[in-house]
Structure 1
Amino acid sequence: MSKNLQIKKSNALVEAGYRLTLGEHRLILACIAKSQGQTLNDQTLYEVDALSVVDLVGITRQTAYEELKDAADRLFNRQITVPYDQAGETPAIRRFRWVQQIEYVETLGLVRFQFATALIPYLSELKERFTVYPIDDVVKMTSIHAIRLYELLVQWRSTGKREIEIAWLKKTFQIADSYKSISDLKRWVIAPAIEQINLHSPIQVGWKQKKTGRSVTHLVFEFSPKKPLKPKTRKTLSREEAKDLARPGESWDDLSKRLGVVIL
């Protein structure tokens, strides 16, 4: 699968309430990226194979096989909830599935699936409000919360700041029952997600909490593009320093040329 592919989702889908495993999310992202330039629909039987995931994410072939098999077992029963407000109607919550059918072909190491009809407008009819980013921004992340938080932040790329209500974030990530205290949420969700975003994505994020009265009710994130490495002031990098700057599948020679430094 070629690099520099784009992920494009409606803002409503980015902010929807759902919970996926890392493997399930990678399957969805791989399909969106692989179908770049095409209009996604509910009639096509899309295919994502293990070798494509290996090439895209940089994981082992065995891990890719296991992730795809697990995704095929779980994804059919996953649901998405989004606020729905059509002119003249009372606002409601719409709930639908990701896929209408899915199968795992073990001998070929691939998943075939059709998107659910109700999902298509959130992936295809993106005339106005949508979020787009290169898939390379998230492929090295191993936390589903990091990927989702990154999407929520790049929605506000033009301002470099986003304030998120904690109750809304828990509902959106569907983790309210798992992390009831703010300390647990920060320790197990927010801090690891920010660490991965700062390590693997092109933005640098800082964050703080905000109180309403005596209770912490919001998290405030401020972010900006990372400053590019300046070859004039840094001529060499160790492989340990350079490995986190490498793109999936990129050789040391290619990385050295792209950064303009010597990798020792």
Structure 2
Amino acid sequence: MAGIETFKQTNAITGARYDYTTTEKRLVYLSLIEVMKTVQDGITDDFFRRDLDLFIIEDQLKKSDPNDNRFRDYRKAVISLRKKDFSIDEVDGSWTETGFVTRGKYIKNKGLEVSISRDVLPYLYELTKRFTVLDATVVMTLASKFSQRFYEWCCQWRSVGQFDFTPDALRDVLMIKTQTGDLKIYVLEVAKAELMKMYEDGVSDLYFTYSEERGGRGRGGSVKRWIFKIHTKKKQIAQERAKNEDIVFVMRFLGQIFGKDSPLIDQALEALKTHENVKLFADRADELQTSGKLDQTKNKPGYIRSILQKEFGLDKK
């Protein structure tokens, strides 16, 4: 992993609904790091015809888990990932059912060998075309699986400066049934504290704080939504982004048109780039909504994509 400071994780995985342990997710991170390294160096002819062999050196295992539990935890993670199904559906109707990990072997005082299924590699390769940039040091050393997820979301929404979840939506994406009060204590506060500590220690370049929207009966009502504000070392830029109502409006508008997990959202934001273009597109979108013209359009995604291509230079590929 020498020389790898960041890696690109697909937003399909960032926003996915799953419940991996911290150690399982570290193995997923490592596989994505290796795929990115391979993509950067150029794909060889036999890349997709063989399993991807990873080797995690002993020092890396110690860094991510300094306790003796790491040997037990990594073994459990390998066993669990070997048993979890990985389903791949092709557009022509073909399908593949496989496992993510095909084997794992620990070599005492040297490290851990893990093999990723060759059937998964083409899928991972395609997914790297839409990504979230994550810091490898941070994701491999976070102690809580909830901190891992919040770090991913902070990276995903860094350009916007904030994101939000209702308690039910957060429970669903994390696949837990915790009561709202406990969700705040054992998920939000744990992730907030760990990311804040890593930020203060200079390991991570971001952390988050959050506020609540409450309503309903009873004293103070119940939590309806949590709003998470992202803070980075570039405080002035972060403040501008957090206050920029136009980009928040654009993100939500594009999510409604294309679907919040569509790769077109990243492509559109790249095409818009400047605050001036974001403002122009936000005004255009607002006018289309208020005038009723958008409601009269049968193919809304196609219409909006056409505007982005003709007026803002969105790639037509």
TM-score category, normalised to shorter length? 0.5 to 0.7
Q: Residue 193 of structure 1: SS of its match in structure 2? A: helix
- Larger RCO (CA within 8 A; separation ≥ 6): 1
1:119-138 to 2 correspondences below 5 Å: 120-121=122-123, 123-126=124-127, 129-138=130-139
- 5+ residue gaps, structure 1, are 229-264
> Quick one: structure 1 residues 31 and 61, their matched pair in 2 at CA, closer, same or farther if it must change by over 3 Å?
farther
Contact kept, 8 Å, 1:98 with 1:119, in 2: the verdict is: no
Equivalent position of 1:17 in the other structure: 17
CA distance in 1, matches of 2:83, 2:6: 27
> Residue by residue, what CA displacement relative to the aligned partner does 1:88-147 show, whole Å, maximum 9, x if unpaired?
x9xxxx9976615223345564232223735743x3224753211221233332001001
More helix as a share of residues: 2
| SS of corresponding position for 1:17 | coil
Of 193, 196, 207, the residue aligned with 2:194 is 196
Q: Aligned in 2, Cα 1:68/1:219: closer, same or farther, shift over 3 Å?
A: same
Distance 1:33 1:100, change over 3 A: closer
1:219 matched residue in structure 2? 226
1:77–1:97 Cα contact (<8 Å) kept: no
Partners of 2:141 and 2:59 in 1: CA distance: 15
Secondary structure of the corresponding residue to residue 145 of structure 1: helix
Q: Which residue in the other structure is 1:254 paired with?
A: none
Give the superposition deviation at 1:11.
Answer: 0.7
Quote the Cα distance in structure 2 between the aligned partners of 1:42 and 1:213.
57
Moved more, 189-198 or 123-132: 123-132
Seen in structure 2, the aligned counterparts of structure 1 residues 198 and 80 have a Cα distance that, compared at 3 Å, is: farther
Bigger shift: 9-18 or 128-137? 128-137
Q: CA deviation at 1:22?
A: 1.5
Structure 2 SS opposite 1:172:
helix
Counterparts in 2 of 1:106 and 1:41: CA distance versus 1, 3 Å: same
> What is the aligned counterpart of 2:112 among 96, 110, 113?
110
In structure 2, what is the equivalent of residue 185 of structure 1?
Answer: 183
Identity among equivalent pairs (%)? 22
**1:221-254: CA deviations, max 9, x gaps?**
01121369xxxxxxxxxxxxxxxxxxxxxxxxxx
Identify unmatched segments of 5+ residues in structure 2. Answer: 40-46, 199-203, 236-317
**Which among 64, 71, 78 is matched to residue 77 of structure 2?**
71
Instruction: Name the structure where strand makes up a greater proportion of residues.
Output: 1
Deviations 1:135-170 (A, max 9, x none): 123333200100111101211111111112322221
Code of the aligned partner of 1:78: K
Q: C-alpha distance in 1, partners of 2:128/2:33?
A: 18
State the secondary structure of the residue aligned to 1:19: coil
SS of residue paired to 1:37: helix
Cα shift readout 1:62-86 (whole Å, capped 9, x = no counterpart): 444333212122112235799x9x8
1:13: Cα distance to partner? 0.9
In structure 2, the residue matched to 1:208 is 211
CA contact (8 A) 1:202 1:225 kept: yes
Contact 1:5/1:36 (<8 A) preserved: no
Structure 1 Cα separation of the partners of residues 129 and 196 of structure 2: 29
1:53 Cα deviation after fit? 2.4
Q: Structure 1 146/80 Cα, relative in aligned 2: closer, same or farther at 3 Å?
A: farther
For residue 60 of structure 1, the aligned residue among 55, 66, 89 is: 66
Aligned residues: 217
CA RMSD of aligned residues (A): 3.5
Q: Out of 44, 50, 62, which is 2:51 matched to?
A: 44
Which secondary structure state, in structure 2, belongs to the residue aligned with residue 211 of structure 1? strand
CA distance in 1, matches of 2:172, 2:12: 14
CA distance in 1, matches of 2:49, 2:170: 29
Matches within 5 A, 1:81-120: 99=100, 101-106=102-107, 109-115=111-117, 117=119, 120=122
Aligned mates of 1:36, 1:52 — CA distance in 2: 22
How high is the TM-score relative to the length of structure 2? Answer: 0.58
Matched-pair contact (CA < 8 Å) for 1:164–1:220: yes
